[in-house]
Structure 1
């Protein structure tokens, strides 16, 4: 029995040590998009290890006739704030209440300071070989006879090999953001960053930054939002 207790203690100690290490490695500023990370890829913005893996994945896809194109990579706090506030103004001007506007925004867009795109690990991708009009980030375009079907099939089969995992799956039991077949994350870095993010006092940060509509981001709302939108993701990215 003593042997098993010792083994269990060792596992718990290692997990705690890993969390502490992640917290020490990643500053709050970096986790909320206010840092100055060294990023790679013109118009992409990935950390070096993630970028190198992306280039390998892109090269492999090219051999199969698919041109992986990043349409959105790194976004800092201010850019995400601009996206959020632009949508907030538009929805409230259409007659939505502030609460309704925020609920509409978070179907797909994050509250600034909570986006995985702040980390230099996540990308939104399409097939650059396809000439697509209007909104390219539409789930229907990745299914059926959509222009990005071949891309999705290739990613389903190969993306994990290069360390990239879909974030917001089509699992009907998953809460939070809607299904995004275009959003992939480099797990080797985003997993420890997610662990470190758990201790970020994001509610106070949003109040300090005077985000438009922040008075409606109550503690209870934010706790639910964080649970559903930030942490209810593809289980493979949390293991």
Structure 2
């Protein structure tokens, strides 16, 4: 029996080499996973049941610093202290950060969770003209009509109660302008994110507007969303959030005429949209 086993070894080794070669040459194995496949591969603990959320959560009416599902972001990964994310989204970001670092890229979180009150501060400073728009305009002077002023602010900023940043799933990375991501190291970083972010559950919700995304905010190459949590929240917003609920800040009366839920909350990249 010992001699038989020794004689079979060369044949077994050759068979293993042949099968390994076949597996390596399979083109299906070499293809990058789709966004949906990549998100589904994220551990199940990163996808809480939708029943655990309510409209107050969707609308950011809570304090991230005291919410049990949130954690502070270490200053090593952000441009300042005091930023928060959901724990599951943060763990996914840390994995993505290490992969990016290994590829020669640095990911820096510039903005993360923003609750209703925080977003209200951003919105109202732009509404009153205390903070100028990205175009340099004073919205209060340039747009006396409420709807026109709201639409001007909505190019890049959300109405309180409608922002994905309320959820703790969304982050702004490295820079707040598309130009940074269109040349040099910024372009290389964006190309890496476009190719690999889905492997960690992240998706860019605000891609260029066109036939597939005719409404919503302008393109934001810096904004990335953690889909295992954001996708069920988007679905909940689709089913339960109404324009009439958007209130409690200056200019809120413009929300119904703008159709802010259907055109802005749901006006995102189809790859990031609610599960179909």
TM-score range normalised by the length of the shorter chain? 0.7 to 0.9
Of structures 1 and 2, the larger Rg is shown by 2
Match of 1:78 in 2: 117
In the alignment of these two chains, the number of paired residues is 203
| TM-score normalised by L of structure 2 | 0.69
Contact map agreement 2:242 2:261 (CA 8 A) in 1 = no
Contact map agreement 2:140 2:149 (CA 8 A) in 1 = no
The reply to whether residue 161 of structure 1 matches residue 188 of structure 2 is no
The reply to whether residue 179 of structure 1 matches residue 219 of structure 2 is yes
CA distance in 2, matches of 1:99, 1:88: 11
Contact map agreement 1:142 1:181 (CA 8 A) in 2 = yes
Q: What is the Cα-based RMSD across aligned positions, in Å?
A: 1.8
Contact map agreement 2:209 2:218 (CA 8 A) in 1 = no
- Which segment drifts farther, 165-174 or 76-85? 165-174
C-alpha displacement of 1:164: 0.5
Unaligned ranges ≥5, structure 2:
1-48, 75-81, 130-137
Unaligned ranges ≥5, structure 1:
1-20, 127-135
Match of 1:69 in 2: 108
CA distance in 1, matches of 2:140, 2:62: 33
1:78-109 per-residue CA deviation (whole Å, 9 max, x = no partner) reads 01011111101113442422222111100010
| TM-score normalised by L of structure 1 | 0.79
Match of 2:143 in 1: 96
The reply to whether residue 236 of structure 1 matches residue 276 of structure 2 is no
1:113 is paired with a residue whose SS is coil
The reply to whether residue 29 of structure 1 matches residue 29 of structure 2 is no
Match of 1:50 in 2: 89
Describe how 1:130-169 pairs up with structure 2 within 5 A.
136-143=175-182, 145-169=183-207
Match of 1:121 in 2: 169
Contact map agreement 1:168 1:177 (CA 8 A) in 2 = yes
The reply to whether residue 216 of structure 1 matches residue 247 of structure 2 is no
